[in-house]
Every structure is written in structure tokens, then in C-alpha cells.
Chains A and B, each alone.
Chain A
Amino acid sequence: SQTIHQWPATLVQPVGSPLSLECTVEGTSNPNLYWYRQAAGRGLQLLFYSVGIGQISSEVPQNLSASRPQDRQFILSSKKLLLSDSGFYLCAWRTGHNSPLHFGNGTRLTVT
């Protein structure tokens, strides 16, 4: 069966520090991978998606970047965190455009 692992579960980082959140998927190949941010009282905001190794699409300009070094690995990064980067970050995968998204358990990031 397919599983998705996202870590860490919680993270507290000072402003200006770097960030690296990792997400891996098991049990499937060539998944579409996604990074979302969820703010309280608002819908999930798509940050990045990837349809293949090295292929990254960004939905909104921001202080973050994403990489897909391997087929089932998706990394969210920042060189210097801002206070506004605080939030709940969710990684997700699916096999195609009309299949359901399968989410990880999220990372609660607090930038202090």
C-alpha cells in the first residue's frame, strides 16, 4: 500500500534561519507531488507541484523553493525564513489529475 511520510511534525525556527521540510512517498512510482500551506480560517494554498524528477512549478511568488531530487522525494526549502512563513505545511501526492490527493500529516512551522 502507498504511504506518505512528512517530517518534522513541528518546527520552531528563528527569523532568518534556513528551512528544509522533507516528504517521501512509498508504494507508488512517478506520483504528482504537492506542497500546500494551510492558514487558519483559509483554504489550502498550493505552493509547488511536481509531475516528475526535477520538474517544479510554483503557484505563488514567495520566500520558499521546492526540489524533487528523486521520484518519490519532495523537499520544501527556504534560505531565510520570515515571520510570515509560519503555518501548517502539507505534502500530498496523487497518481493523476482526477485521482484523490493523499496528504501527509503536516508540519507545524513557527517562525519566531
Chain B
Amino acid sequence: KNQVEQSPQSLIILEGKNCTLQCNYTVSPFSNLRWYKQDTGRGPVSLTIMTFSENTKSNGRYTATLDADTKQSSLHITASQLSDSASYICVVTEISGGYNKLIFGAGTRLAVHP
């Protein structure tokens, strides 16, 4: 069964520190992998997208990496800010006939404390 597993489930860090969130997937074949940020009570917003041939993609203080051989991705947040407190969701697009299906991870809930 195609799955996306994220770790840790939750994380608390101090403002200014770095952190790395993990995403392991078994989706195959896949076309791309996205990271979304979801603020509490809001809809998710896309942060980065990587195709299977890309290794890294940055968006400001967010850097995503992808290893298609080991089926692992990570999201690194540098110099965290209070506004980074949110859930981060890994989404893998499964190639499935004429419709590409999105497989969502359960997310990592990040809390940045002052």
C-alpha cells in the first residue's frame, strides 16, 4: 500500500534554532513530492515541490531534500521564528493512470517557543 510516514509527530524548539522534519514514503511510481505548511485552523499552503530528479529545493529559510533511491525527504528550517509554529505536511503524487493521486502524510506539528 502506498504510504507517506512523517516523523517526528510533534516537535518543540526554541526560537532561532534549526530543525529537520522527515518524510518516508513507499509511493511508486511517483511524480513529485511537496511540503505544505498548515497554520492552526487554516488550510495548508505549498512550500516546495520536487520532482523525482531533483535533490533539493529552497524557499527562504525552508530547504527540502529528496532521495528518490531511499524514498526519503526532509524539510530543514533554519533560524526558526515564532511564525514557523504550524503543521508541516509531506505530500507525494502517485502516478495512477490518467489521474495523479495525492498521498498525504499525517504531518509534523512544530511549536517554536521564545
Enumerate chain A interface residues (CB-CB to B < 8 A). 6, 41-46, 90, 92, 97-98, 100-106, 108
Contact = CB atoms under 8 A, between A and B. Distances in A.
A44 B34 CA distance: 14
Describe B's contact surface by its main secondary structure. Answer: strand
Contacts of A105: 41-43
Interface stretch (B13-21, B76-84, B100-108): B100-108
Query: Which of A43, A102, A103: most chain B Cβ within 10 A?
Result: A43
Interface residues of B, number: 23
Given A43-B4, A100-B34, A100-B49, A90 B43 contact: yes
Interface string B1-40: 0001000010000000000000000000001101000000
Describe A's contact surface by its main secondary structure. Answer: loop
8 A-B pairs with least C-beta separation: A103-B43, A43-B104, A100-B46, A44-B104, A97-B100, A43-B106, A105-B42, A105-B43
Given A43-B89, A98-B31, A106 B106 contact: no
A106 B31 CA distance: 27
Contacts of A106: 41-43
Nearest to B95: A97
B43 A98 contact: no
Contact of B102 (A6, A90, A101, A108): A101
A43 B43 contact: no
Given A45-B104, A97-B100, A103-B44, 4 more contacts: A44-B44, A90-B44, A97-B93, A100-B49
Query: Which of A41, A90, A101, A105: most chain B Cβ within 10 A?
Result: A101
B102 A41 contact: no
Contact of B106 (A42, A46, A92, A101): A42
B81 to A, nearest CB: 22
Interface in B83-104: 89, 93, 99-104
A93 to B, nearest CB: 11
A43 B81 CA distance: 25
Given A41-B106, A43-B105, A104 B43 contact: yes
